Amino acid sequence: MKKIWLAGGCFWGVEAYFQQLKGVLATKVGYGQGTRSNPTYEQVCSGATGHAEICEVTYDENAITLEKVLEHFFRIIDPTSLNRQGPDRGTQYRSGIYFTDEPEKTTIAAFIQKMQPGYQAPIVVEVEPLQSFYPAEDYHQNYLQRTPGGYCHINLGLAAPEERRQ
């Protein structure tokens, strides 16, 4: 079991997308990489805390590799867009990949290097060791499962049928 933390705009869609994948065991949305302990949604949205909206993805590395997780992540974000994804704008909506060990850092760096030729603009995804992660309020967890038709800037249909849980 491994964990990776991904920021790609509003965390509701990132969570809903990864929840449907084979090999993903759990997700949790929250706030990370900022300067305030246990921030609230309102504080993060103000932009004053420096946090990003992040989805913690727990996965079975025997069922889905980190590189495959990153491939899925790049399907749902624009990695060349700074501090925005879709209509979500602000530093809290930046794209990022946050890791906890050197082998992950190496895999992420190699993946981004492999992907860069496919984009005309530079990839601006923040890649850093995880500094902090604070779970978001309960009403944000599993939001799109509990709120069918709720706001989501991500096309949840980008995962192929064979990549989805049964």
Residue-wise pLDDT for 91-115, tens only, equals: 999 999 999 999 999 999 999 999 9
* Active-site annotation holds for 10: yes
Q: Which CATH superfamily is domain 2-163 in?
A: Peptide methionine sulphoxide reductase MsrA (3.30.1060.10)
Considering the entire predicted model, what is its pTM? 0.96
pLDDT digits (tens, 9 = 90+) for 127-158: 999 999 999 999 999 999 999 888 888 999 99
Task: Spell out the domain ranges in the chain.
Answer: 2-163
Distance CA 51, CA 31 (A): 6
pLDDT at 87: 92
Bridging pattern class, strands 24-32 and 52-59: antiparallel
Q: Which of 10, 45, 55, 152 is catalytic?
A: 10
Distance CA 86, CA 70 (A): 19
Bridging pattern class, strands 2-8 and 24-32: unpaired
Q: What percent of the chain has pLDDT over 90?
A: 96
pLDDT at 70: 98
